[in-house]
């Protein structure tokens, strides 16, 4: 086994185990911390796939900002829910388990039987310069639309979450 393989398997085990933690541990704050671990493992995948820019974005935006917002959301919505079991009494989890098993089986077989193109010899490190150039040259319109979407989402979130007058 090469070093890259060892790193890959360690990261894969970490990602899968922590994702399992996100969906199974009863304590919601622990689930959020597992989510951070899983996101960091995925950042490791990005480095293995030689796109360090995405790894940085992943750590900053996902494991940093998004996880922090989620933790804030958890702590602001802690009420009597704490006493409820995290898996509902409606018992949807067998359905979820079935759907998960079917999905894993279907996607696993699809991955195994498909012919994937392999010209891995062409893989080059994609530098931040190149990505920046491509974003502002070939992907300018989607980029600008994304910034408008972010702005609208930001304003929308503020408007929705704002406390209105006369509200307790």
Partner 1 sequence: MDTAAEQIPLESFLFVSAVIFSLGVYGVLSRRNAVQILMSVELMLNAVAVNFVAFASYTDGTLFRGLIFAVFVIIIAAAEVGLALGIILRVFRTRATANVDEVDQLKW
Residues 109-128 that bind partner 1 (CB under 8 A): 111-112, 116-126
- Contact call for residue 72 and partner 1 (CB under 8 A): yes
Pick the binder of partner 1 from 10, 86, 133, 136 (CB under 8 A). 86
- Contact call for residue 40 and partner 1 (CB under 8 A): no
3-state secondary structure of 127: coil
Q: Least distance in Å: CB of 68 to partner 1?
A: 10
Of 56, 59, 49, the closest CA to residue 126 belongs to 49
Q: What is the Cα–Cα distance from 120 to 128, expressed in whole angstroms? A: 21
Pick the binder of partner 1 from 10, 103, 128, 140 (CB under 8 A). 103
CA torsion sign for 100, 85, 78, 17 is: negative
Residues 125-154 that bind partner 1 (CB under 8 A): 125-126, 130-131, 134-135, 139, 142, 146, 149-150, 153-154
Say how many residues make up the chain: 168
Pick the binder of partner 1 from 10, 74, 128, 140 (CB under 8 A). 74
Q: 4's torsion region: left (phi>0), alpha (psi -120 to 50) or beta?
A: alpha
Q: Least distance in Å: CB of 52 to partner 1?
A: 11
Q: CB neighbours of 30 closer than 8 A, spacing ≥ 6?
A: 21
Q: Which x/- pattern, by CB under 8 A, does the window 11-30 give for partner 1?
A: -x--xx--xx-xx----x--
């Amino acid at each position: 086994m090469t070093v890259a393989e060892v790193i890959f398997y360690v990261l894969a085990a970490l990602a899968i185990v922590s994702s399992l933690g996100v969906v199974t541990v009863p304590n919601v704050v622990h689930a959020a911390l597992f989510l951070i671990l899983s996101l960091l493992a995925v950042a490791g995948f990005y480095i293995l796939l030689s796109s360090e820019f995405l790894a940085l974005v992943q750590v900053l935006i996902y494991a940093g900002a998004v996880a922090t917002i989620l933790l804030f959301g958890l702590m602001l919505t802690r009420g009597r829910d704490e006493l409820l079991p995290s898996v509902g009494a409606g018992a949807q989890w067998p359905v979820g388990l079935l759907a998960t098993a079917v999905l894993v089986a279907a996607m696993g077989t699809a991955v195994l039987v498909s012919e994937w193109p392999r010209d891995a010899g062409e893989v080059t490190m994609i530098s931040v310069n190149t990505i920046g150039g491509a974003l502002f040259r070939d992907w300018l319109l989607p980029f600008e639309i994304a910034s408008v979407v972010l702005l609208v989402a930001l304003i929308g979130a503020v408007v929705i979450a704002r406390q209105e007058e006369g509200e307790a």
